[in-house]
Structure 1
Amino acid sequence: MTESEQRIVDGFSHVLPAEYKDALDSYAGGSHVVSGLLDSIPELTDVDRRLDLMDEHGVDVGVLTPASPPVETIADRRGAVELARTMNDGIARIATEHPDRFVGVATVPMNDPDAMVDELDRAVTDLGLQGALVYSSVDRRPADEPHLGGTGRPIDRPELDPFYEAVTDLDVPIWLHPTRPKTVPEYVGERDSKHLIWQLFGWPFELSAAMARLVFGGVFERHPDLDVIAHHAGGMLPLLAGRMDVHAELFETFGDADVGGDLSRPYVDHFRQFYVDSATFGSVAALECALEFFGPDRLLFGTDAPFDVDGGAVSVERSLEAVARLDVSEADRRRIYGETMLDLLA
């Protein structure tokens, strides 16, 4: 393959189908935690504008993942199922109308494990979507128990195992996305997170914590063929891999911790099972950390578009430039830009 034949696949971008946005606004009474943000980015809903963005920057294929917020933070179990179905129908419509440009990824109602399996099967088998996005924690509605110190329930709970089994049976990936509400403060005595800490720093932590629960909670052990694409280059994990190794050994040796003691192989091997995307918003150093830890075969081009002040242009430009600056072979760069993602979707 020559450089001119390079296909660029944005493996982690977001979409908000028009029919789903209407349903979301209806369930939320016209307002929710990020309603103003979603209203300000027309590229989430306007497919023509999204295609223009891709064409301008040479992106051949966009993998469309559901935009936040998680459906279970908006509605009860029944409503979350309805919202998920509406979202998935909308994403499938866009992918069907533009089969050469878009690949669709489903959302699932994470507050109903049985419905997660049913909707995954419908989305993949009937609608032709290529997997599902899950969030780093489950079932935390903004008004529910705002001061318990956590963001929701962990994703390694046994009741989610049938979902992970269904994912591997269907041979599709999971896209792992962080979530943390403003209503979870960092300090005692405060009602909300201040200075956007919940988003700027909280989301990378939540992503890393969810990755740790999948590993230490034995999800990869029970489902060794599970493919998980973690957003934002794997959050804090690549940067802190050395700390994790040293301190796990320290506390296992001199403390009462049992880190990964029930796993059949070293836990670091499980962590390297993740795929991660390049959505570091231009940070080459962060990508270099991810590249060193996960290797070039596990790093995928992804942008988080269109979540920036220019409808995705900033995210796409910075992601393209960061990957171009990596010190890798051209063969590895081709894999990062698209070949590995296309293999996952095959």
Structure 2
Amino acid sequence: MSSGLSAAEIRGKFDHPVIDADGHIVEIAPVYEEYIAKAAGPEVRDRAVDSMKGPLRLWYDLSEEERLQRHLTRPPFWVHPASNSYDLATAVLPNLMRARMDEIGVDLSIVYPTFGLQVPRIPDDEIRRAMCRALNLMHHELFSDHADRLIPAATIPMQTPDEALDEIRYACDELGYKVVMLQGIVRRPFLGQDGKPVPGNPVWIDPLGIDSLYDYDPLWQALVDRGIPANMHTGAMSVGMRASPSNYVYNHIGHFASAHEACCKALLLGGVTRRFPDLAFGFLEGGVGWATTLYGDLIAHWEKRNGNAIQDLNPKTIDFARFRELCDEYAAPDHRAALEPFTENCHWFFAADLEQAPEAEDEWAKSGIRTDEDFARIFSRNFYFGCEADDRAVAGAFNTKANPFGARLNALFSSDIGHWDVPDIAGVLAEAYELVDDELIDEADFRDFVFTNTVRLQTLNRPDFFEGTAVEDAVNEFLAAESRAQAAE
């Protein structure tokens, strides 16, 4: 048992590094505002500040009755460590974060923005793009001296493929970022007949891979060309059933998982994983429980509704003579008269008179799925799932008895350091290791969780991703061993 041990002592129990796939920096607004002015000028900075504060002020300015009448979603509040000033400062100051890495028991951390979770959703094109660029410039400078232990992620706006590509060229090609933070879903306004947003600002969800307004293939190709995985860090608060005017906890629970599920199944059904088989996708902070469910659901749906199986559900295949015989024999006497027309045809019941275009019958055609084992290949190679230290559903990712085809889903240790989920930064590794202490996973699973799965995600298209970092030697040793094992198969 590891209770009572420090993170450093727990780290000393195993011979592999610990990589945090999703830590966070907490930006200080006045510093960020300086970078917005630097990136786009003081006028845009002032508008940007208003765009961030406006929705927050509105909720607090309204009475409880007015919030309910407008159904205005309660915004997040008190979301960072407060009583522990040391942890708060750690999340704010990269120099201190770096100084505490050994104490925390983490060898390398990939650090994502906090403002980057909201900024890409700002409706104003100029402000949104300026704020993303300012974040990327700021984090590039703040983390430049810590590349061996801390790797920052660039914030990429996703409203259109063109703006995403433009920021990737700046952040990755000019500044040298090798991790990006994308939105897996984009909120788009409903438009009226005049082409303008409908009053009240209702939105629909674009999951990018299917039924999108835009073709995002140029973006996926740009990531493949640069050896960068498509890491999604998107929430779904204020959408649908996560829009309580009074309760932030109600809105928060499950919102990352909800957004990720929408994006993940769209990427597969829309054929993105078929067209870009070497692109890895990271779904961060939503856990892996939703993924084990989706994995099984996709297989079950495919088995019953693939291009061939769907014909067993075609109303044209009904044997009405046999159906009528059964009705005559078994139907309640009072119902036989009502069933008479139904035994002749059932168009009204099965919508059989609503013809399906041949290409619309097979909803899996774009996916490229040919056997149910294709799902295991995609989920085991292309999809990765960020899980916080206290997420006991991680055990399901490694449950080869329950997961179809014995699949092991790629759960990633993701501390979420910097946010309210982590009351004690120095305790996250011990919390994660409780999975082993409680015999939910074994040491080999834990190694995959805190080390090898993140290595696979980041090196699928970029074997030298960890060059110059504190884990370089261990990564190279692992990749060499994996290469030898594959050659021997």
- 8 A Cα contact 1:57 1:317, kept in partner: no
Per the normalisation by structure 1, the TM-score is 0.81
Q: Is 2:296 the partner of 1:242?
A: yes
State how far apart, in whole Å, the 1-side matches of 2:454 and 2:160 are. Answer: 29
Cα distance change of structure 1 residues 165 and 240 upon mapping to structure 2, 3 Å threshold: closer
Number of aligned residue pairs: 338
Superposed CA deviations along residues 219-268 of structure 1, whole A, max 9, x for unmatched, are: 11121111111223445121343343224434553378644233323451
> Mean Cα displacement is larger for which, 106-115 or 11-20?
11-20
- How far apart are 1:195 and its partner, in Å? 6.2
State how far apart, in whole Å, the 2-side matches of 1:328 and 1:207 are. Answer: 27
**Sequence identity percentage:** 20
* Counterpart position of 1:287: 394
SS at 1:28 equivalent: helix
* Counterpart position of 1:203: 256
State how far apart, in whole Å, the 1-side matches of 2:288 and 2:296 are. Answer: 15
* Counterpart position of 2:340: none
- 8 A Cα contact 1:17 1:87, kept in partner: no
- TM alignment of 1:146-161, pairs within 5 A: 148=202, 150=204, 152-156=205-209, 157=212, 158-161=214-217
- TM alignment of 1:132-143, pairs within 5 A: 132-140=180-188
Return the match for 2:431 from 309, 314, 318. Answer: 318
State how far apart, in whole Å, the 1-side matches of 2:207 and 2:453 are. Answer: 29
- TM alignment of 1:105-184, pairs within 5 A: 105-140=153-188, 148=202, 150=204, 152-156=205-209, 157=212, 158-182=214-238, 184=239
- TM alignment of 1:64-83, pairs within 5 A: 64-67=111-114, 68-83=116-131
- How far apart are 1:170 and its partner, in Å? 0.3
Unaligned stretches of 5+ residues in structure 2: 1-11, 37-44, 57-74, 83-87, 190-196, 315-355, 459-464, 467-489
* Counterpart position of 1:10: 20
State how far apart, in whole Å, the 2-side matches of 1:313 and 1:20 are. Answer: 27
Return the match for 2:134 from 86, 106, 110. Answer: 86
- TM alignment of 1:268-279, pairs within 5 A: 268=375, 269-279=377-387
Cα distance change of structure 1 residues 50 and 317 upon mapping to structure 2, 3 Å threshold: farther
Higher RCO structure, 1 or 2 (CA under 8 Å, sep 6+):
2
State how far apart, in whole Å, the 2-side matches of 1:52 and 1:296 are. Answer: 35
Superposed CA deviations along residues 278-337 of structure 1, whole A, max 9, x for unmatched, are: 5244233x112222459558333222222225264565542343366553454x543432
Cα RMSD (Å): 3.5
- 8 A Cα contact 1:27 1:74, kept in partner: no
* Counterpart position of 2:266: 213
- How far apart are 1:133 and its partner, in Å? 1.1
Return the index of the structure with the highest Cα Rg. Answer: 2
State how far apart, in whole Å, the 2-side matches of 1:174 and 1:234 are. Answer: 17
State how far apart, in whole Å, the 2-side matches of 1:144 and 1:272 are. Answer: 42
* Counterpart position of 2:49: 26
* Counterpart position of 1:37: 79
- How far apart are 1:108 and its partner, in Å? 0.7
